[in-house]
């Protein structure tokens, strides 16, 4: 037997059943859509926060990179940078590295880099007990410490010399020890210049600026200028010897001078040993630009040939 309720349901149209099903499903779908929106909203917020955090991190990283790239030496210890700079050639330090940045300029103008370079090459200050040592000046003076006289022993004939007087049989060059002569006391000297029976003299003029010594160094520091010369006589003849060294200004005016007061006389039948004469110019004042070195002499017996004074190993050195 069919119940009334069941019978009524069987009599309802099919469309009504579909509507009822849809009505039941609508709240569920709505809830699903709402949950999806909530999830999407949460994910969006999380993604937005993550993107913002990433952007801030990227910006901070870029700023740090910019700071490092703008001046990477800011993170470099001064002590390590000093050691690195001290390994570079002095010319590059002054002409190139000094222009890189303010920090490098201050370090190169200071004393630490140059003091380390002096230590590396074994250079010492003239007065190490002085409280304020200009290590840059000390380095360049030691580096340039050399004999400024060219061809001091006649190995290149008379190259670089100017013959001021060429009396008698004129200047000549002989090999050591020579007739009735004595060997030179030092190594590396094999020849000498020799004068004749009338006065002979020769000279060299040294351009200090051309040799690499700057005006500031010469005018303010005024480093010592050491002058040396060696002379000897034959054992069988007497002779006369003269030396004159002048410090000259830009216009060749004499600012300081050293010379033998009278010709040095060596009597006949001497031992023939070599003698050294030296002088140090110091505190000579500003303006020195040239050094003129002149020496010479003759024999005292007026014998034809080359019986006069012998000279060799002349030197002019700028001291540290």
Q: What is the pTM of this model?
A: 0.68
**Is the pLDDT score of 125 beyond 80?**
no
State residue 144's pLDDT score: 75
State residue 29's pLDDT score: 58
Domain 162-318 has CATH 1.10.3470.10: no
**Is the pLDDT score of 106 beyond 90?**
no
State residue 288's pLDDT score: 97
Closest CA to 256 of 265, 267, 245: 245
Residue 307 in contact with residue 237, Cβ under 8 Å?
yes
Residue 236 in contact with residue 268, Cβ under 8 Å?
yes
Residue 226 in contact with residue 317, Cβ under 8 Å?
yes
Domain 75-143 has CATH 3.30.1490.190: no
How confident is residue 238, by pLDDT bands cut at 50, 70 and 90?
A: very high
Q: How far is CA 13 from CA 1, 3, 16, 24, in A?
A: 22, 18, 6, 18
Mean pLDDT of the chain: 84
**Is the pLDDT score of 241 beyond 70?**
yes
**Is the pLDDT score of 99 beyond 60?**
yes
Distance CA 19, CA 13 (A): 10
By CB atoms closer than 10 A (0-12, 13-18, 19+), residue 232 is: buried
Report helix angle 112-121 to 102-109, nearest 10. 50
State residue 118's pLDDT score: 86
**Is the pLDDT score of 293 beyond 70?**
yes
Distance CA 239, CA 255 (A): 31
| Residue 23 parent element (H or E) | helix 14-70
Q: Where are the domains of the chain?
A: 4-69, 75-143, 162-318
Closest CA to 275 of 317, 227, 310, 246: 310
State residue 306's pLDDT score: 97
State residue 145's pLDDT score: 83
What own/partner pairs with CB < 8 Å and gap ≥ 24 does 66-72 have? 71/101, 71/103
């Amino acid at each position: 037997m069919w119940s009334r309720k069941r019978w009524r349901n069987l009599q309802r149209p099919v469309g009504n059943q579909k509507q009822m099903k849809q009505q039941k499903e609508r709240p569920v779908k709505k809830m699903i859509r709402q949950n999806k929106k909530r999830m999407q909203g949460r994910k969006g917020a999380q993604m937005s926060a993550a993107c913002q955090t990433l952007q801030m991190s990227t910006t901070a990283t870029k700023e740090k990179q910019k700071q490092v790239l703008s001046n990477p030496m800011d993170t470099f210890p001064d002590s390590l940078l000093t050691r690195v700079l001290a390994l570079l050639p002095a010319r590059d330090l002054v002409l190139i590295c000094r222009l890189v940045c303010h920090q490098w300029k201050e370090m190169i103008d200071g004393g630490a880099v140059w003091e380390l370079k002096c230590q590396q090459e074994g250079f010492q200050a003239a007065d190490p007990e002085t409280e304020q040592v200009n290590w840059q000046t000390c380095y360049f003076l030691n580096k340039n410490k050399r004999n400024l006289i060219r061809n001091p022993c006649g190995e290149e004939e008379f190259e670089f010399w100017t013959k001021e007087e060429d009396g008698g049989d004129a200047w000549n060059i002989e090999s050591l020890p020579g007739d009735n002569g004595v060997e030179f006391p030092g190594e590396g000297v094999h020849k000498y210049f020799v004068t004749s029976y009338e006065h002979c003299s020769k000279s060299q003029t040294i351009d200090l600026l051309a040799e690499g010594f700057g005006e500031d160094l010469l005018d303010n520091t005024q480093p010592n200028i050491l002058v040396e010369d060696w002379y000897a006589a034959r054992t069988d003849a007497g002779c006369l010897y003269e030396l004159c060294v002048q410090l000259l200004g830009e216009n060749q005016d004499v600012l300081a001078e050293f010379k033998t007061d009278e010709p040095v006389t060596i009597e006949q039948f001497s031992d023939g040993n070599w003698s050294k004469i030296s002088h140090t110019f110091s505190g000579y004042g500003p303006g020195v630009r040239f050094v003129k070195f002149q020496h010479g002499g003759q024999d005292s017996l007026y014998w034809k040939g080359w019986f006069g004074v012998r000279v060799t190993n002349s030197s002019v050195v700028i001291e540290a």
